[in-house]
Structure 1
Amino acid sequence: MKLLLTSGGVKNKSIHAALEDMLDKPIADCSALCIPTAMYGHPWIGPGVQAWKFITGKEENPMVNLGWKSVGILELTALPSIGEERWMPLVRETDVLLVSGGDALYLSYWMRQSGLADLLPSLSSVYVGMSAGSMVMAPHIGDFFVGWTPPNGGDETLNLVDFSIFPHVDHEMLPHNTMAAAEKWAAGMKGPAYAIDDETAIKVVDGVVEVVSEGNWKRFM
């Protein structure tokens, strides 16, 4: 599976070009599924208008509104109740998964509960994450980002990449997300970590990691 792990969506021409390069056909010919699940677990977002904005492409972060041939909704909390035969073929056939921000641990929990986490490595789709949708690919998120607490506690996520992500560096709405805070966070993480702003994304294809940026980022060991 190809990963485009963003902080704030497909925000600029460089990230857009990286996405186009990862697809095997034009965006206008691609089917997409959007996954809003992470939003429900976040204390500032939750269900309601913000989830609607993401699903309908009305928000300011470019994801759903990039001109896809079709966009469907994959709600992970519903999947355990409908049977794999109802949704797995749809996921296997889609070109792109668009995964919203929100709470990374809530998203990780429902990716596992739904069975999507086990399916992801075998997909040929392009996975485009935003904020928590990107962080969930890491082994851990760190205490700095723990909000919703999973039943077994901890900060473990899916471990599908070997690095962790600190998103939204120096965002005007998030005064605690400074590069200094990211450096302190990274010191407590195991393995490499990236701090990225909303003009930056991390591209992963066949295990090769590339930073795509028109903004500010830093890699920590």
Structure 2
Amino acid sequence: MRLLLTSAGVRNARIHDALLALLGRPVADCTALCIPTAMYGHPYAGPGENAWRFVSGRSEQPMTELGWKSVGLLELTALPSIDADRWIPLVREADVLLVSGGDALYLYHWMRESGFVDLLPSLTDTVYVGMSAGSMVTTPRIGADFVGWRPPAGGDDSTLGLVDFSIFPHLDHEMLPENTMADAERWAAGIKGPSYAIDDETAITVVDGTVEVVSDGHWRHFPG
């Protein structure tokens, strides 16, 4: 699996070019599945209008509206109630997974409950495009600052661990006064491992373990 981990979607030409490099062909030749699940676990992201905007391609975080050959919807919370053969082929056949922001632990919980996480090792040709929580869920842990929703059985801030670093998104966002560089430094000290703070004009690509930062904004790497 090739990863494009963004803070706020494919917001600029540099991130778009990185996406094309991961795809290896035009966007118009690729099929996508969008996964809005994380939004439902966040008090400000969904359900309702914001979830609809993401799915319909009318949000301020470009993901589904990039000109894909087709876009399907995969809602992880529904998967445990239907037969696996109704959705697993869709995931295997998709060229791209578009995973929205919201609550990372809620997303992680439903990735496991649905069985979606069990497919990930086999998706070697798939491009995973994450936004905010959709990016954070691929990391080993999100840090206490980003813990909101908690699973019924409890747990810590651990997530998938597909990559070996953590992500602090929306750095210095004008609507998030708690996301300053000083806040990121304090968060990184608690992670006790490598991490990145990225703003909304920045993304991180991961291909075969090679990490590259793609940015028209500002970011910082914390070695841990």
Q: Same fold (TM over 0.5)?
A: yes
Q: Secondary structure in 2 aligned to 1:113?
A: helix
Query: 2:58 & 2:14 partners in 1: Cα distance?
Result: 22
Quote the residue 2:213 is aligned against. 211
Quote the residue 1:162 is aligned against. 164
Equivalent residue letter for 2:141: H
Deviation at residue 15 of structure 1 after TM alignment: 0.3
Equivalent residue letter for 1:148: W
Residue 101 (1) aligns with residue 101 (2): yes
Q: Which moved more, 1:33-42 or 1:170-179?
A: 170-179
Equivalent residue letter for 1:125: T
Quote the residue 2:29 is aligned against. 29
Equivalent residue letter for 1:57: G
- Aligned pairs for 1:100-139 (under 5 A) are 100-123=100-123, 124-139=125-140
Deviation at residue 84 of structure 1 after TM alignment: 1.4
Q: 1:56-105: per-residue Cα shift (whole Å, max 9, x none)?
A: 00111110000001000000000111121111111001000000000000
Q: TM-score, normalised by structure 2?
A: 0.97
Q: 1:34-56: per-residue Cα shift (whole Å, max 9, x none)?
A: 00000000011221110000000
Residue 145 (1) aligns with residue 141 (2): no
Q: Which moved more, 1:68-77 or 1:150-159?
A: 150-159
Query: 2:31 & 2:217 partners in 1: Cα distance?
Result: 29
Deviation at residue 152 of structure 1 after TM alignment: 2.2
Q: Unmatched 5+ residue regions in structure 2? A: none
**Identity across the alignment (%):** 72
RMSD (Å) for aligned C-alpha atoms: 0.8
Quote the residue 1:185 is aligned against. 187
Q: TM-score, normalised by structure 1?
A: 0.98
Q: Stretches of 4+ moved more than 2 A in 1?
A: none
Deviation at residue 191 of structure 1 after TM alignment: 1.4
Aligned length: 221
